Structure 1
Amino acid sequence: MKVFVIIPTHNSESTISGTLNSFIAVKEKCPIEINAIIVDDCSEDRTLEIIDNLSVPFKIIQNKSKGVSSARNSALEYLYEFEDTSDIWITFLDSDDYLSNQFFSNLDEKINTFDYIAFEYKNLQVDDVFDGNRSKEISGVNVVEYPFESAIDKAISNFGNNKINFNSPWGRLLKLDFLVKYKFKFHNNLSYKEDFLFNMEVLNKIPRVGTIDTLGYYHVINPESVVNNFVKDAFNNEKFIQGQLLKLSINKKQEIMARYNGWLGLQYVYVFPKHYKSDTYESRKSRFMQVRSYMQPFRIKDYGGHKKSKEFIFFLLYKINFFKILDIIFSFRR
């Protein structure tokens, strides 16, 4: 049994050392073979120099500045060429996040009856000190079967247990022989929600899904991440994603929920984004009407979130076309 950790990098000199040291700590304690594949997307800083100076050799793939989806795909393509893909698992690690050996040091062969295993993660702020590999020791991990239909529901809604998700690339183990059967890849044309669509396409092929309630991943909330900035292609990306979802085996309720969450995400990264200094009132209004014309009609009963929430207020104001009020509300976020 082997695990390959796929790590995309691009100008990651300020974080890659901590990330790879967490991997090294995991490797030292893991009872099974675990290796890292680093895909560097044309870094122009000291990222590769820092990697070379670490004590553990890494498989490094040079990518051609095509973005994180292409970088992940390069690693997948490398693994898909293996003659024997049995008993091999993959997981993803972002270049500013950390693995926890509390989880990986307890993996064993019993996970091999599953195809897709989600495990717990914890959010950290940029200034938080990572101490995950000094956490208390545990004995063994317990895999609980999780209906793939429920995993699809959770991937779409992103509600429920916030310790495990089904819409990020990290925080899960994926069985290589299941992936290679369908040659799954990330969509290179997407700069927004590409990880959500990847998970949806994997789950649509009915893998045997399991969850493990052990912390295995630390995700750093980066103020420069997509959710905190203007994504100029988000609207077109969302339209593409909605079209791809209709090709999958999702029910009407899931389709409506996916459209609702698509609308909600666009409010934050496209209509009323943070950190967009050259934005104007007229530009926001134009984007608001663009999204509204595409996402209509919504009915009150289509609302998929909690009624006692700010999102429900946004939903009502959006439905009755109160752009001015919404613009004032979101101005406190900018």
Structure 2
Amino acid sequence: MVKNKLSIIMTAYNVADYISSTIDSVIAQTNQDFNLIIVDDCSTDQTQKIIRSYEKEYDWISVVCHAKNSGVSSARNTGLQHADGELVTFIDGDDQVEPDYVDHFIKIFADEDVDMVTCGFFNESENGKIKNKIAKHQTAIVGRDEAVKQIIKMTGTVMGYTWNKAYIRSIIVKNDLLFQTDLDLMEDQVFNVQYATLARKFYLDNLPLYHYISRKGSITQKFAMENVRDVGVARMKVYKTIRDSTRNEKNQI
């Protein structure tokens, strides 16, 4: 029996200055039918001490600590191993969510026969300035081709992120889906495309419920040759996933 409807996987690495605000935003959820799994990727600051204090106070928070720093993909994979919810989503340890974040996903999955649900997001600077344009509320139920198209786009409210999406965990488990540990960039897009090729229908919603906070020094803010390599490898993996899925569909006809 599934104890929690939604498992939230939060990854953390040296985010002691921010993670209390992140966890507090999860505590403030209007729908409490979830559990929170925090995976610390061998932080060297006070992150682990902070999350352990929350674990002691709340029985629905569990903490898993890596013995060595392995990267965000490995941390998410660890979280998936410990998840027990029917649904699963991901939160970064230095971002925040709106109070209706959990309720949004749970309600739509209950009302609609879909395999993925998305929400919109605020792209904020560290001083709280909103950098993206918040559009009029729109929803749509789309098929696989349109979902993949929106996931690989570099603009919009869907894109390749995992923190603005909720997934059916059984699809992930049945197909042994994991995040690519050899990528430091776009690993989430690869995961989303792989998931999408295995799913049927997608509920796209642009209601902004996640606060993505761009911080100086983050890996997405840095430009390096390794990043160029990761983007190239990720795009090849995405192309191969789409190509193989198309071939399989044709063979089944």
TM-score for both structures, normalised by structure 1: 0.63
Partner of 2:64: 61
CA contact 1:145–1:208 (8 Å) conserved in 2: yes
For 1:40 and 1:180, the matched residues in 2 are separated by 22
Partner of 1:154: 150
1:242-261 pair list within 5 angstroms: 242-250=235-243
Please state which structure has a larger fraction of its residues in helix: 1
Give per-residue Cα distances to partners, 1:199-244, cap 9 Å, x unaligned.
Answer: 1111122332112343321110112223321233123323322332
Give per-residue Cα distances to partners, 1:136-167, cap 9 Å, x unaligned.
Answer: xxxxx9964122211211222223xx3x2130
Give per-residue Cα distances to partners, 1:175-196, cap 9 Å, x unaligned.
Answer: 1111112111110011121111
For 1:178 and 1:154, the matched residues in 2 are separated by 20
Q: How many residues are aligned here?
A: 229
Cα distance change of structure 1 residues 188 and 52 upon mapping to structure 2, 3 Å threshold: same
Partner of 2:93: 95
Q: Does 1:75 align with 2:60?
A: no
Q: Does 1:167 align with 2:198?
A: no
Q: CA shift at 1:45, angstroms? A: 1.2
Displacement over 3 Å in runs of 4+: 141-144
Partner of 1:15: 18
Partner of 2:8: 5
Q: Which has the larger radius of gyration?
A: 1
For 2:143 and 2:35, the matched residues in 1 are separated by 30
Q: Does 1:234 align with 2:227?
A: yes
1:1-334 pair list within 5 angstroms: 2-26=5-29, 29-30=30-31, 32-54=32-54, 55-57=57-59, 58-63=61-66, 64-79=68-83, 88-105=86-103, 107-108=106-107, 110-111=110-111, 113-128=113-128, 144-159=140-155, 162=156, 164-250=157-243
For 1:114 and 1:243, the matched residues in 2 are separated by 28
Identity %: 23
Corresponding residue SS for 1:180: helix
Residue type of the alignment partner of 1:56: Y
Residue type of the alignment partner of 1:149: D
Cα distance change of structure 1 residues 113 and 223 upon mapping to structure 2, 3 Å threshold: same
Please state which structure has a larger fraction of its residues in strand: 2
CA contact 1:90–1:175 (8 Å) conserved in 2: yes
CA contact 2:119–2:205 (8 Å) conserved in 1: yes
For 1:143 and 1:122, the matched residues in 2 are separated by 17
For 1:4 and 1:184, the matched residues in 2 are separated by 16
Residue type of the alignment partner of 2:15: S
Corresponding residue SS for 2:100: helix
Cα distance change of structure 1 residues 47 and 124 upon mapping to structure 2, 3 Å threshold: same
TM-score for both structures, normalised by structure 2: 0.81
CA contact 1:22–1:99 (8 Å) conserved in 2: yes
Q: CA shift at 1:90, angstroms? A: 0.7
Q: CA shift at 1:105, angstroms? A: 3.6
CA contact 2:185–2:220 (8 Å) conserved in 1: no
Cα distance change of structure 1 residues 180 and 149 upon mapping to structure 2, 3 Å threshold: same
For 1:91 and 1:8, the matched residues in 2 are separated by 11
For 1:210 and 1:70, the matched residues in 2 are separated by 28
**Gap regions ≥5 residues in structure 2:** 131-136, 245-253
For 2:33 and 2:162, the matched residues in 1 are separated by 21
Cα distance change of structure 1 residues 18 and 233 upon mapping to structure 2, 3 Å threshold: same
Partner of 1:280: none
Greater CA drift, 70-79 or 50-59: 50-59
Q: CA shift at 1:198, angstroms? A: 1.1
